[in-house]
Amino acid sequence: MKYISTRGQAPVLNFEEVLLAGLASDGGLYVPESLPHYSKAEINEWQGLSYADLAFRIIQPFVSDSIPAKDLKSIIDESYAGFRHPAVAPLTQLDHNEWILELYHGPTLAFKDFALQLLGRLLDYILQRRHQHVSILGATSGDTGSAAIEGCRRCENVDIYILHPHNRVSDVQRKQMTTVNGENIHNLAVEGNFDDCQSIVKACFNDQSFLQGKHSLVAVNSINWARIMAQIVYYFYAALAVGGPSKKVSFSVPTGNFGDIFAGYLAKQMGLPIEQLVIATNKNDILHRCISNNDYSKKQLDHTLSPSMDIMVSSNFERLLFDLYDRDGAAVSALLDNFNEGAVSLDDRVWKRARENFDSSAVDDDQTCETIAEIFEATELLIDPHTAIGVRAARQCNRNRSIPMITLSTAHPVKFPEAVLKAGCEQPTLPHHMADLFEREERYKVVPNQVAEVQRAITGSND
Ligand SMILES: *Cc1c(COP(=O)(O)O)cnc(C)c1O
């Protein structure tokens, strides 16, 4: 499998190279040159496979000859063995023909474990073979950081540096990052907000001379193709569990960077019969404005009760635009080069195509809490605010109630107690295996909100 850039100018890479690459050299994102396609009969043969076995079938063609099949199989098996539910991604019924797919049974209780458990192991395998060591550098508003740390804690060839905004992540989220032991794990609490953390990370990637050639940096945010790839699997898994592929299914996806739902779009392109893909956003609604009004302009960031979806721009939307613009890298560049200059809209024909593929809805904080309360009242099931947004959007956008509607449940409610309490529900408790989280010792370093200070913290810890 070959990978090409959405801006058309960067070198073509194989899987191994794309895993280490992050952003393409032309500023674009890597996507597969072509996708495997499966008939209904072929998909039907996967009925009854365990999650890890299904993951191997779906992921193998994307990795192709970068990793021998036998080794890939054990990497995948190990990645999902640590999940605390035998089904890995169990479905729970909310109502007649309405379901949530529980993606929070991994080590950090959010769906990002699906990708990062695998990504850490893939990286370590490839780096071992290349006799190479890298530093992972990332900014987090909460969930990505802990999932990346858990995914890489045992990697011998990786140092990991995670920046979080000091005093601005929830206690559970911070403890999940700072109580993980390991010489290769470095938590930096930046005296600024999440945007500041992101800008610092960007500056470090743009000019890596501060590392003096010792290590190169690797990105673990969802611009990394391997994360998207891993997420394709659970769309197939859920569809098979409710009677697909002979029956169609619909999905509603709480969306921030458009990574998770883009994986659903790819599943559809690969042959999975999907009726609707619903983009569910909070007040940071650039994607909903784009789908409903062809308004793809930046707006100021709002802080909401669903912080993992607080974004101004959805970086993975570029991967979709590349398809919608008939894979014309120059057209994508032309559109996104203008992106900072006020109002942006898509070509009419491109916008129509986007609307053929996606429905959308934006849900505010009050509606989020209302939905948490409503679902608890009806089912005694406590859902987190991101999931609530997905459920609300699913109900608003559902066009055909004879088709199963599955909302991706992206996090355990214990990670977001503020929304749960506002909804009038009781504070959720930590799952058994992390009941002692608040007693564990924390390790992190507070650093001033300056690129040079962060760089010093990184190089200093290498000596
Ligand atoms: C990251 C995250 C999302 C958004 O996922 P994207 O791939 O950025 O769209 C939604 N919910 C939770 C809980 C998350 O951690």
Task: Please answer whether residues 426 and 184 qualify as being in contact, where contact means their C-beta atoms are separated by less than 8 angstroms.
Answer: no
pLDDT of amino acid 264 = 98
Most informative mutation of 29, 108, 109, 111 for ligand 1 (most atoms within 8 A of CB): 111
> Is the residue at 412 inside a domain?
yes
Most informative mutation of 100, 119, 143, 262 for ligand 1 (most atoms within 8 A of CB): 143
> Is the residue at 8 inside a domain?
no
Q: Could you tell me the two tokens for 153?
A: 């804690």
Q: How far apart are CA 246 and CA 249, in angstroms?
A: 10
Q: How far is the CA of 91 from the centre of ligand 1 (A)?
A: 18
> Is the residue at 315 inside a domain?
yes
> Is the residue at 152 inside a domain?
no
Task: Please answer whether residues 27 and 9 qualify as being in contact, where contact means their C-beta atoms are separated by less than 8 angstroms.
Answer: no
The residue range of the domain holding 341 is: 86-108+226-422
User: Which residues have CB under 6 Å of ligand 1?
Assistant: 110, 112, 143, 222, 254-260, 308-309, 386, 410-411
pLDDT tens string 383-411: 999 999 999 999 999 999 999 999 999 99
Task: Please answer whether residues 51 and 199 qualify as being in contact, where contact means their C-beta atoms are separated by less than 8 angstroms.
Answer: no
Flag whether pLDDT at 433 surpasses 80.
Answer: yes
DSSP code string of 156-206: TTEEEEEEEETT-S-HHHHHHHHT---TTEEEEEESS-HHHHHHHHHHHHH
> Is the residue at 18 inside a domain?
no
231 Cα nearest atom in ligand 1: 7
Domain of 103, CATH number, reads 3.40.50.1100
pLDDT tens string 255-311: 999 999 999 999 999 999 999 999 999 999 999 999 999 999 888 889 899 999 998
User: What is the dihedral sign for C-alpha 110, 115, 118, 121?
Assistant: negative
pLDDT tens string 9-36: 999 999 999 999 878 989 899 999 999 9
CA–CA distances in Å: residue 433 to residues 97, 192, 430: 32, 32, 8
Grade residue 194 by pLDDT with cuts at 50, 70 and 90: confident
Assess whether 298 carries a catalytic annotation: no
Q: How far is the CA of 386 from the centre of ligand 1 (A)?
A: 8
Flag whether pLDDT at 462 surpasses 70.
Answer: no
> Is the residue at 407 inside a domain?
yes
Grade residue 40 by pLDDT with cuts at 50, 70 and 90: very high
pLDDT of amino acid 267 = 98
Grade residue 313 by pLDDT with cuts at 50, 70 and 90: confident
CA–CA distances in Å: residue 228 to residues 27, 111, 222: 18, 12, 7
> Is the residue at 101 inside a domain?
yes
415 Cα nearest atom in ligand 1: 13
> Is the residue at 285 inside a domain?
yes
Q: What is the mean pLDDT of residues 304-327?
A: 93
For the chain, what is the domain count?
1
Q: How far apart are CA 265 and CA 232, in angstroms?
A: 9
